Structure 1
Amino acid sequence: MIQKTAIFHLFLLSNFAILDLATANSNSNSNIKLTVVVDGIRNHKGQICLRVYNNEQGFPFTDTSEVQSGCVQIQGNSIKKDFYGLKAGTYAVAVVDDQNEDYKLNRNFLGIPQEGFGVSNNPTISIKTGVPKFQDASFSLKKNKTINIAIKYSLDP
Structure 2
Amino acid sequence: MKISILIWIMFALFSQSQNPTTLSLQVTNVKNDQGLVRVLLFKGEAGFPDDTEKAFKSASVKIKDGKAQVDFGAVPEGMYAISLFHDSQNTGKLRTNAFGIPRDGYGFSNDAMGMFGPPHFEKAAFKVTVGKNNVSIKLR
Q: Place the TM-score, normalised by the shorter chain, in its bin.
A: 0.7 to 0.9
Q: CA deviation at 1:108?
A: 4.0
Structure 1 unaligned regions, length at least 5? 1-9, 153-157
Structure 2 unaligned regions, length at least 5? none
User: 1:82-129: per-residue Cα shift (whole Å, max 9, x none)?
Assistant: 1101011111111110122233323345432232110000023443xx
1:94 aligned to 70, 83, 94, which one?
Answer: 83
**Residue number in structure 2 paired with 1:148:** 136
Relative contact order: is structure 1 or structure 2 higher (C-alpha 8 Å, sep ≥ 6)?
A: 2
Distance 2:56 2:119 in 1: 18
State which structure, 1 or 2, has the greater radius of gyration over its C-alpha atoms: 1
Q: CA deviation at 1:63?
A: 0.6
Contact preservation (8 Å) 2:114, 2:120: no
RMSD: 2.5
Q: Aligned pair count?
A: 139
Change (3 A) 1:111 1:21: farther
Distance 2:100 2:7 in 1: 56
Q: Any runs of at least 4 consecutive aligned residues in structure 1 with deviations exceeding 6 A, and if so which? A: none
Q: CA deviation at 1:134?
A: 0.9
**Residue number in structure 2 paired with 1:6:** none
Quote the sequence identity (%): 26
1:38 aligned to 17, 27, 30, which one?
Answer: 27
**Residue number in structure 1 paired with 2:40:** 51
Letter paired with 1:99: S
Change (3 A) 1:28 1:53: farther
- Of stretches 87-96 and 108-117 in structure 1, the one that deviates more from structure 2 is 108-117
**Residue number in structure 1 paired with 2:113:** 124
